Amino acid sequence: MFLGKVVGTLVATRKEASLDGLKFLVVRRLTVENEEESGYVVAADAVGAGIGEVVMVATGSSARQTRLTDKRPCDAVIMAIVDTWEVNGEEKYRKSESS
Amino acid sequence: MFLGKVVGTLVATRKEASLDGLKFLVVRRLTVENEEESGYVVAADAVGAGIGEVVMVATGSSARQTRLTDKRPCDAVIMAIVDTWEVNGEEKYRKSESS
Amino acid sequence: MFLGKVVGTLVATRKEASLDGLKFLVVRRLTVENEEESGYVVAADAVGAGIGEVVMVATGSSARQTRLTDKRPCDAVIMAIVDTWEVNGEEKYRKSESS
Amino acid sequence: MFLGKVVGTLVATRKEASLDGLKFLVVRRLTVENEEESGYVVAADAVGAGIGEVVMVATGSSARQTRLTDKRPCDAVIMAIVDTWEVNGEEKYRKSESS
Amino acid sequence: MFLGKVVGTLVATRKEASLDGLKFLVVRRLTVENEEESGYVVAADAVGAGIGEVVMVATGSSARQTRLTDKRPCDAVIMAIVDTWEVNGEEKYRKSESS
């Protein structure tokens, strides 16, 4: 999985019928130091993530292992909202209480 | 999924028999800011996309989760036509009414 | 799928038994402008491609969705020979009649 | 598989229900010379790895081939703790006895 | 598949139980011109490859399509030992008779 920040939303009305009801979010990749990268992915949201939240994204066939994405043409899913992570004993991110 | 712009068409008469009837389009990758990149993919079209349209592409085994691509040697599929997306509250793309 | 040019052949006598009879070709990646890149892949040939031909290559589990590659440890397959493709209305490649 | 060093931990309370009980670790990629790279992955831990240990990570659908990750939206798993590796007859890494 | 040279061995005693008996080798990527690259992969050996041999590596779910790797958390497998390959009519590699 990689770490990303939800930065945007996307609307697509004409799509594979099986995708109806899925919410797609634009997720920018984060370095392990919590810096935004230029890379991004559009991911289905399986956990009710919101703009600005830091999330974990699973890709490939693993992205279909949720009730919402099962058997759908979806190759990236937000499967967790991150509370905190640390590297070498140093906290790199902590979800604010208000978010 | 990644965002792409349909920029071209491709004809291949000699191919795996299971691919008969599939339409292949050349899709150039877009940055999250809606700028064309040099990278591209040839994708099967599952939604009737046209030249110039902005689309979402799913890759890998997820590209086979449509009626058209099921069990076929196809690793990229256009599974949605994008109407609009925004990043950090700013609209990056909106499909023109005429297209 | 990506576009590639068949540039070479490969012989491997000691291999997984299930691979017997598969023909492996060296395929160099092409840009969307039909320029050779340094990247390459060794792909199983499912369509009888020859040296110099421009082909489409499917990778990952999709490479196993042909009769020849089914259930084999093969992650890239030539599944079509390209006749022509165009980008932004400009023809980038056309298979010569003699080839 | 690639070689990595466990450098951190991650907490995510809001996640796909099937992920409950999985431990996620931050793993930095290592070169074959045992140098840390900037790339990283967040992987599920299937072997009880600890901070500072050098591990092997499997990705994609192969990451779900453990009892802990089966059918879960998880695309990276630590499936082995490395004792030692050598390249061209030279030892590049040996797990210290105390770790 | 990509071409690689077996450059090293790896020992891992603590691992997923299903991996017992698998031999892991360090494989450095080769360019199509038979030059070593910095990239590498740790692959399971399905064909009895030895140090210095040039091999083909299959990745992803295709790496599990051998008797040794079936249903195991393994995403790269050596599935063939290369005898020779040529590009544009020029031989780039030939296995020496003594190896």
CATH code, E11: 2.40.50.220
C-alpha to C-alpha distances, C80 to B73, C33, C42, C90, nearest whole angstrom: 10, 19, 15, 21
Nearest residue to C25 via CA among C71, C75, C77, C98: C77
| C65 touches B at CB < 8 Å | yes
Identify whether D95 is part of a domain: no
Longest CA–CA span in chain A (Å) reads 47
Measured in degrees and rounded to the nearest 5, phi and psi for residue C60 equal: 75, -155
Does residue B93 form part of some domain? no
CA–chain centroid gap for B26, Å, is 8
Per-residue pLDDT at A98? 59
Q: What percent of chain D has pLDDT over 70?
A: 98
How far is the C-alpha of D32 from the C-alpha of E42, rounded, in Å? Answer: 9
Average predicted confidence (pLDDT) for chain A:
96
What residues contact residue B70 under an 8 Å CB cut-off, 6+ apart?
A: B64
Query: Residue range E17-30: average pLDDT?
Result: 97
In a domain, C69, yes or no: yes
Q: Please give the mean pLDDT across all residues of chain D.
A: 96
Dihedral of alpha carbons B18, B23, B29, B30, sign: negative
Domain membership of residue C99 (yes or no) is: no
Q: What local confidence, expressed as pLDDT, does residue C98 receive?
A: 59
What ipTM score was computed for the predicted complex, to two decimals? 0.95
Are residues C4 and C28 in contact, defined by beta-carbon separation less than 8 angstroms? Answer: yes
Q: E12: distance to nearest CA of chain C, Å? A: 24
Its sign, for the CA torsion B10, B16, B21, B25, is negative
- pLDDT < 70 stretches in chain B: 98-99
Under DSSP, the state recorded for B12 is: -
Q: Please check whether residue A98 lies inside any domain of the structure.
A: no
How many domains, in total, are found in chain C?
A: 1
E46-64: buried (b, 16+ CB within 10 Å) or exposed (e) per residue? bbebebebbbbbbbbbbbb
Q: Pick from E79, E91, E93, E99 the residue to mutate for testing the C interface (most C CBs within 10 Å).
A: E79
Is C66 within 8 Å of chain E by CB?
A: no
H helix runs in D1-99, sequence order? none
Average pLDDT over chain C reads 96
CB atoms within 10 A of CB D35: 9
Interfacial C residues in 15-34 facing B (CB < 8 Å): 31-32
Domain that holds residue D18: 2-87
Partners of chain D (3+ Cβ pairs below 8 A): A, E
Taking the Cβ of residue A58 and every Cβ of chain B, the question of whether any pair is shorter than 8 Å is answered with no
**Cβ atoms of residues A75 and B62 within 8 Å:** yes
What does the pLDDT average to over C16-42? Answer: 97
Instruction: Choose among B5, B33, B6, B30: nearest CA to B92.
Output: B33
Q: Left, alpha or beta for B58 (phi > 0: left; psi -120 to 50: alpha)?
A: beta
Residue B93: enclosing H or E segment and its boundaries?
A: strand B90-94
pLDDT above 90: residue C83: yes
State yes or no: pLDDT of A48 exceeds 90: yes
For chain D, the residue count is: 99
Query: Shortest Cα distance from B31 to chain C (angstroms)?
Result: 17
- Residue-level pLDDT at B60: 98
HSE-up of residue E93 (Cα within 13 Å, Cβ side): 26
Per-residue pLDDT tens digits of chain D, which is 99 residues long: 999 999 999 999 999 999 999 999 999 999 999 999 999 999 999 999 999 999 999 999 999 999 999 999 999 999 999 999 999 999 999 999 755
Is there a domain that residue D99 lies in?
no
Q: B28 versus C97: which is more confidently predicted?
A: B28
For residue C41, pLDDT beyond 70: yes
* Integer Cα distance of B69 and B60 in angstroms: 12
Average pLDDT of chain E to the nearest whole number: 96
Closest-CA distance of chain C to residue B70, Å:
9
User: Quick one: A15 exposed, middle or buried, by C-beta within 10 A (0-12, 13-18, 19+)?
Assistant: buried
pLDDT of residue B98: 59
Q: Tell me, what amino acid is at A87?
A: V
Determine, for residues D10 and A61 on separate chains, whether the beta-carbon distance falls below 8 Å: no
Query: At a CB cut-off of 8 Å and minimum separation 6, what does A42 contact?
Result: A10, A24, A25, A26, A27, A76, B1, B2, B3, B56, B85
Asked whether the beta carbons of residue D61 and residue A66 sit closer than 8 angstroms, the reply is no
| Res D98: pLDDT | 59
Q: Is residue D57 part of a domain?
A: yes
Q: Are C83 and C94 in contact (CB under 8 A)?
A: yes
SS3 D60: helix
pLDDT tens by residue, A3-25: 999 999 999 999 999 999 999 99
Sort out which chain C residues have CB atoms less than 8 A from E61's CB and list them.
Answer: 60-61
CB A82 within 8 A of CB A49: no
The answer to the question of residue B53 being in a domain is yes
Residue numbers in D near E16 (CB within 8 A): 46-47, 66, 79-80
Q: Which of C10, C16, C42 sits opposite E66 (nearest CB)?
A: C16
CA distances from A42 to A3, B81, B90, C79 (A): 13, 13, 16, 28
Residue of D32, D77, D82 with shortest CB distance to E73? D77
Inform me whether the pLDDT recorded for C64 exceeds 60.
Answer: yes
- Please state the rounded mean pLDDT for residues A39-43: 97
The 10s digit of each residue's pLDDT in C1-11 is 999 999 999 99
- Least confident stretch, C54-68, C84-98, E39-53: C84-98
